[in-house]
Amino acid sequence: MPDRPWSPTYLNLQSTIQDLFLYDFQVEIDRLGEEVAKQFQSNPTIPGVILSKNGQLKGMLSRRRFWEHMSRPYSLDLFYKRPLASLYVFTKTDVLILKGETPIFEAARQALQRSPQLLYDPIIVELNSGVYRLIDIHQLLIAQSKIHELTHQLLEEKTYANRVQTEKMASLGRMMAGVAHEIRNPVNSVNGNLSFLDDYYKKLIELLLIYEQEIGQKPNRIVEFEEEIELDFILEDTPSILQSLQVSAESLIQIVASLRNFSRMDSRKQQIVDIRECIDSTLLILKNRIKNSVETIKNYQEIPPIHCYSGQLSQVLMNLLANAIDTLMERKEKEKNFKPRIEISTQVIENYNGARGISIKILDNGMGIPPEIQERIFEDFFTTKPIGKGTGLGLAISYQIVTQKHNGQLNLRSEVGVGTEFEIVLPMENAV
């Protein structure tokens, strides 16, 4: 009889053979053959019997081989009333023994690699030390088929999710391009007119000074109104306001330029880009998240412009920097005196696949990533963030953009409690 009810509908990609239909039929090898025959007759689904001696595993006798030998002439006289050991001498074959935690697809692979005469013999499953069960090959192949179906379904879901994400980013890019275009004209108008406004203000001040010189003693009404509107403060504060407006307008122009650069998500042509400008544009977009809470250090060495898909590369930088900010904020919540820091560096390296390359490093002093998570960090749909906070696609898509679109590398170095470094390496052959 099986250890537990089983159905292939309960399987998942991590299922192992101990999750399957297992049979517990084990007898001492000195028991009579008729006892096994009676069990096989009353339980037609049992695939075989595990043989032991003093509790130690000796081997396995499949149902098929048992009845093959029992059906031969004189076999009933030879084996039916004798210990199983005498029959086992004639039927002994190599037995496949697998650990209970063996994945289903691996068990099926090993089972199918056996010689043809052993192909349908059951497999011994070792659940614990000295604890054995049997698994029927038919059930194993059904389970393998289910795993194959689940894998195919997951691949379809991944393909669909990637397509949706790409379309979302392309739509976002088109929207941002439209917003940037709509903002650019009024911003340019504000910025262009500020110089005239500053000039007009200076001329009005000169006019006021001339009035004072020509009039001499001010009438009481003028003196009272100057006090009412706080003229001295207006004259002192207006230049600061004009300067602040000028700085804000220039900042808006930079943000619009960054949005236009980031909006090139759906561009199918490579463009010549200065990577440092891409980084600065991304930091500008993230400025509201960084503000004064994160120290940003830039170590830019001279690197050449490169041919790349600038919008997609900006998306990679956005993902890496946003993740760095997330881990910094997480650590800041836990450690009162923690000082968040992001260090960004660019340089030409000499040992990239035996040639020169361009390196962009983003280093944070956040929580760090445990080794077991590092192994899966670039997998589709893998995320450690709470539900609703992450899709598990950001780093996976970033990895694809760097490795497949740009023939580069995306490397990870991290230590828990110290921080994380992501390094984008692009081949120098892309350089201008």
pLDDT of res. 341: 92
φ, ψ dihedrals at 308, nearest 5°:
-160, 170
Rounded Cα gap, residues 272 and 308, in angstroms:
7
- CB contact set of 201 (below 8 Å; sequence gap of 6+): 238, 239, 242
pLDDT digits (tens, 9 = 90+) for 264-294: 544 557 788 888 988 888 887 787 777 778 8
In the DSSP assignment, the letter for residue 83 is: B
Inter-CA distances, 66 with 29, 62, 119, 359, 367, Å: 14, 6, 16, 67, 61
With a cut of 80, say whether residue 91 has pLDDT above it: no
- The pTM of this model reads 0.48
CB 124 within 8 A of CB 95: yes
pLDDT digits (tens, 9 = 90+) for 65-78: 888 877 776 666 66
In the chain, what percentage of residues exceed pLDDT 70?
82
